[in-house]
Amino acid sequence: MSQALTSLLLIYTGGTIGMKQDPAKGALVPFDFSQIQEEVPEIGKFAVRTDSYTFDPLIDSSDVEPSLWQALAELIRDRYDRYDGFVILHGTDTMAYSASALSFMLDGLTKPVIFTGSQLPVGVPRTDGKENLISAIEIAAAKDADGHARVPEVCICFGSLLIRGNRSTKVNAEMFNAFQSPNLPPLAEAGINIKYNRDLIRKPADWDAPLTVYPALDTRVSILKVHPGITRQTVSDILHGPNTRAVIIETYGAGNAPTKDWFLDCIRQANRMGKVLVNVTQCLRGTVDMNLYATGKALQEAGVINGYDSTTESALAKLFHLLGNCPDNDEVKMRMECNLKGEISK
């Protein structure tokens, strides 16, 4: 009996990869998916059947809203049985947020969901879009000897790297290696061959369990980035806002923040109000350890929970997801400190 051809759904949301210069507007504007296919005829050379789905309107990813993540999650759920994997073409600016969000919204994933995009439009001679898209397709189609997907995770494939979506961050606005996974080595590197870091790739507990999609998101989250000169008013406005259920506090180094009485009083008051307060470091690499310095300890005692080595993008997406699914903030706090999808080293 002949084996069915591997099939992928290419989902096009917008971004630079599918843009071209509009002389009238003097800016990049999106073009349709058939033009991407024309520019990348290599797609047809894989022993893979590809279908495409185009979002309308196509957007610059600076305009991404959680509603796009819900639409993506529902699209994947509705077509899950028809495809072996999904490749999402997305702008780079918020790709790390979208990949993080999907990693929490799709539970029991047994198939690859690979985000990609580019720094230069696919029609430009030096584009990175072709290589990124071709690598993403090859990875999304890759299977192990047992027939299971090699990378059943939400990832970003960009430059020479395949990285876990909820570990990714955009670090470069102009070079082709735009994304990094600062606290976890890449899941694969694309050179002459694609070399997989197999020990790091997460596998589902049960390959036969159905995919569960959690579309609910609660966006009542703010981010407080501490900095020298921050005022009591700013801290209070962010921490005590009536429409905020959770605040990510971006701290210095290993999780340190000012120890001035007014600052800690603001934190204690937010904690008494029942807010979820999460400590994430401003540093690109490394983890929060609130037991290292007195300043970190003071935060812990004031009710701040540990975000470990989470990126801010992942902490935000995780909070949206947990708040959307648990009415009880104490349960959210407890689950925030758990490693749900490989997003923290714990």
Active site residues: 16
> What is the tally of helices (H) and strands (E) in the chain?
9, 18
Q: Which is nearer to ligand ASP, 62 or 233 (CB)?
A: 62
Task: Name residues contacting ligand ASP, limited to 70-109 (CB under 6 A).
Answer: 91-93
Q: Which of 50, 70, 98, 119 binds ligand ASP (CB under 6 A)?
A: 119
Which residue's Cβ has the minimum distance to ligand ASP?
91
Where does this chain touch ligand ASP (CB under 6 A) — which range of 44-52, 59-67, 104-112, 276-284?
A: 59-67
Task: Report the 10 Å Cβ neighbour count for 283.
Answer: 16
Q: Rounded to an integer, what distance in angstroms lies between the CA atom of residue 294 and that of residue 153?
A: 38
Listed in sequence order, the residues at least 6 apart from 284 whose beta carbon sits closer than 8 Å to its beta carbon are 169, 171, 180, 182
Shortest distance, position 17 Cβ to ligand ASP, whole Å: 7
Residue closest to 58 by CA, chosen among 32, 22, 95: 32
Query: Can you tell me which residue has the tokens 């609910």?
Result: 216
- Tokens for 236? 């209070």
Residues contacting ligand ASP: total by CB under 6 A: 11
Kindly report the backbone phi and psi dihedral angles of residue 73, in degrees, each rounded to the nearest multiple of 5, phi listed first: -60, -40
Q: By CB under 6 A, tell whether 159 contacts ligand ASP.
A: no
What one-letter code names the amino acid at 324? G
Q: Which is nearer to ligand ASP, 28 or 340 (CB)?
A: 28
Task: Name residues contacting ligand ASP, limited to 7-26 (CB under 6 A).
Answer: 14-16
Q: Which of 50, 54, 61, 312 binds ligand ASP (CB under 6 A)?
A: 61
- Tokens for 84? 């072996």
Q: By CB under 6 A, tell whether 117 contacts ligand ASP.
A: yes
Q: By CB under 6 A, tell whether 62 contacts ligand ASP.
A: yes
Residue closest to 312 by CA, chosen among 279, 338, 336, 335: 279
Listed in sequence order, the residues at least 6 apart from 264 whose beta carbon sits closer than 8 Å to its beta carbon are 298, 299, 302
Hey, is 216 helix, strand or coil? coil
Q: Which is nearer to ligand ASP, 30 or 152 (CB)?
A: 30
Query: Can you tell me which residue has the tokens 């997305």?
Result: 90
> Alpha helices, DSSP H only, in the chain?
33-39, 66-79, 95-105, 129-141, 232-240, 261-272, 294-301, 312-325, 329-336
Q: Which is nearer to ligand ASP, 64 or 141 (CB)?
A: 64
Shortest distance, position 119 Cβ to ligand ASP, whole Å: 6
Binding residues (CB under 6 A) for ligand ASP: these are 14-16, 60-62, 91-93, 117, 119
